[in-house]
Amino acid sequence: MINKIYKSIHNKYSTLFKFVFFLRYLIGIFFISAALYLFIPHFIDFKKKDEIIKNYLLENYGLKIYKYENIEYKFLPVPNLEIQNIDASIASDSLKINIINLNIYPKLLNFYNYQNFEANKIILNKNKILLLDSEIKTFFNYISNLKKRLKFKNLDLKIYRKISSLIDLEKINYSNYGYNKNVVKGEIFKKKFKILINDNYNSINLKLIKTGITADIDFNKIKKESLISGIFKSTLLNSKLKFNFDYDEKKLKIYKSYFRSKDLSFKSESTITHYPFFYSNSIFKVDDINIKLLKNININKILTSKNLIKKLNTKNQINFKSKKFSGNLIDDLSLNIDLAYGRLVYLKKISILNNFFTCQGDVNLLEEYPILYFDCLLESEDKKKLLKEFSIKYRNKNEPFQLNVRGNINILNNKINFKNITMSNNYEASKEDLNYFKQSFETILFYENFLSIFNYKKIREFILEIS
């Protein structure tokens, strides 16, 4: 019975069975042919074709190869050509680049026919690029204008001015195609970051992973070839910063700037010139400040950065006007600070209920023990009102008061020397008085560090002590 069924099926479907058995040979031949097609390029000397490959990279990717170590065919994961240890340039020879591995993914037919060589994409792996700050725009334009598929893997990008390093970006991954198109990932200051760039390259979002720091940059339409302008917005923990900027090859201009946190808020305008030398000029208008912030300033740590201090050349103007009913001791403050080659020159003006305090002087921050020289003048139309601000009683009304003090302060050793003190009614302090004021000042106001002299309670205690 079974044999009859078998013969019936075999006679009826014999043609189909023959075709299926024949098809297995075709499939086998196809796989063997495909394997040979993909394996044979291992025996091709691609160095003999390097001029064709180099011309293609130059014409389509703007990548000019000066020298390389070797070209190898790689079968997995996808057939490609790997060029090793390359010295090259991009963007018309202006930017030099070192590439450990350059993987080119040609179309399959191009492994045997180089007359019309064409690649689907290229991947630059383990690269190093050194950029002058003036070349940043050139590099950005190269990336944004490239039409062919390109990917950077493990790129180290170092930006510097002359011989001084400005910033190091490490382990950068970027692709201008696919799922991660225009997403930049890498590390800065050993912290991971992620940058999202829109398709028009006029908007950038930066996020520093696990730090609470984010930033958005919206670029304006370019009106001048050498100018980059836009709006910068940033969030740092509970602080927010926003400003407009104009940047060219010589300077960065910041305006309409506003910073706000729970302890400090201010508006500012700055011009930072970086060519031919570094110089900055800034104006700050402080809207609100928590004086307790001064306690967090570590002067000793700042003064250890002498290599940085001597490179700074800056002029700053700080203005503060107290809001009504704020309870602040100071009504108005104007502070001018000029720093050049380590020498800081300052002029401070303070208003407290029509009482005016002016102080000027200088200090060389590069010295081992910086000495702050001061010449201060206090003028008051009513001594009673002035002392009332410190909760000190005084009988006489409308009594004018004037005090002039000259001397110097050793910032790190918490020592003060009074050279001269004069007051109303032709009073001039004697040597004994100067020594007494010195000891009282150091005992009461210098109880912690230099910044402790701004403590309201200690100022009151000092006034009571010398009265």
The structure's pTM equals 0.73
Instruction: Describe the chain by its helix, strand, coil percentages, rounded to 5.
Output: 25, 45, 25
Q: Which residue has the higher pLDDT, 18 or 464?
A: 464
Share of the chain above pLDDT 90, in %: 19
pLDDT at 29: 58
Q: Quick check: 13 pLDDT over 70?
A: no
- Say if residue 146's pLDDT is above 80: yes
Indicate the SS3 state at residue 93.
coil
- Quote the pLDDT of residue 361: 92
DSSP class per residue in 131-148: EEGGGHHHHHHHHHH--S
| Number of Cβ atoms within 10 Å of the Cβ of 407 | 20
Q: What contacts 228, CB < 8 A, 6 or more positions away?
A: 137, 219, 222, 246, 247, 248
Amino acid, single-letter form, for residue 22: F
Indicate if the pLDDT at residue 190 is higher than 90.
Answer: no
| Average pLDDT rounded to a whole number, residues 95-99 | 87
Give me the phi and psi of 437, to 5 degrees please.
-60, -40
Within 10 Å of residue 54's Cβ, how many Cβ atoms?
A: 17
Q: Of the candidates 416, 425, 407, which has an alpha carbon nearest to the alpha carbon of residue 450?
A: 416
CA-to-CA distance for 252 and 136, rounded, in angstroms? 14
Q: Which residues pair with 240 in a beta bridge?
A: 235, 260
Q: What is the mean pLDDT of residues 185-200?
A: 87
CA distance 270 to 183: 31
The mean pLDDT value for 403-419 works out to 88
Q: Are 270 and 284 in contact (CB under 8 A)?
A: no
* Nearest one of 63, 98, 101 to 82, comparing CA atoms: 101
- At 268, the pLDDT band (50, 70, 90 cuts) reads very high
Q: Which amino acid is present at 438?
A: K
Helix orientation angle between 431-444 and 456-466, rounded to the nearest 10 degrees: 150
- Which position has the higher pLDDT, 330 or 120? 120
Residue 259: pLDDT over 90: yes
Identify the DSSP state of 461: H
Query: What residue segments make up the domains of the chain, in order of their start?
Result: 41-208
Residue 265's SS3 state is strand
**What is the per-residue pLDDT across 194-251, written as a single tens digit (0 to 9) for each?**
989 887 778 889 888 888 889 898 988 765 666 788 999 998 878 999 999 998 878 8
Q: What is the pLDDT of residues 272-296, one digit of tens each?
A: 987 777 889 999 999 888 777 777 7
pLDDT bracket for residue 30 (50, 70, 90) = low
Q: What is the pLDDT of residues 37-92, one digit of tens each?
A: 555 555 566 777 788 888 888 889 888 988 888 888 887 777 888 889 989 888 76
Is residue 163 pLDDT above 80, yes or no?
no
Cis ω on the peptide bond leading into residue 77 (within 30° of 0)? yes
- C-alpha closest to that of 404 among 431, 419, 423: 423
When pLDDT is averaged across residues 377-396 and rounded to a whole number, the result is 80
How many whole angstroms separate alpha carbon 12 and alpha carbon 14?
Answer: 6
Question: Taking Cα atoms as reference points, which of 440, 456, 292, 453 lies closest to residue 390?
Answer: 456
Say how many CA atoms lie within 13 Å of 325 toward its Cβ.
0
H, E, C per residue of 294-331: HHHCCHHHHHCCHHHHCCCEEEEEEEEECCCCCCCCCC
Neighbours of 49 (CB within 10 A): 15
Using DSSP, state whether 36 is helix, strand or coil: helix
* Mean pLDDT, rounded, for 321-340: 76
Confidence grade of residue 303 (pLDDT, cut at 50, 70, 90): confident
Determine which of 3-17, 58-72, 313-327 has the lowest per-residue pLDDT on average.
3-17
- Bridge pairing between strands 415-423 and 427-428: antiparallel
In the predicted structure, residue 15 carries a pLDDT above the cut 80: no
Collect all residues with Cβ–Cβ distance below 8 Å to 185 and sequence separation of at least 6: 172, 173, 174, 192, 193, 194, 195
SS3 call for 431: helix
In this structure, the number of other CB atoms found within 10 A of the CB of residue 232 comes to 16
Would you say residue 22 has pLDDT above 70? no
Q: How confident is the model at residue 454 (pLDDT cuts 50, 70, 90)?
A: low
Nearest to 131 by CA among 168, 106, 102: 168
Which of the four pLDDT bands, split at 50, 70 and 90, describes residue 2? low
Cα separation, 31 vs 26, whole angstroms: 9
Token pair 């200051």 is at which residue? 189
Confidence at residue 325, expressed as pLDDT on a 0 to 100 scale: 44
CA distances to 67, 212, 239, 332 from 209, in Å: 38, 7, 17, 41
Strands (E), 9-149: 63-67, 70-74, 80-90, 95-106, 119-132
Look-up of token digits 């893997």: 153
392 CA to centre of own chain: 49
Residue 117 contacts residue 47 (beta carbons within 8 Å): no
Please give the Cα distance from 173 to 153 (Å, whole number).
Answer: 5
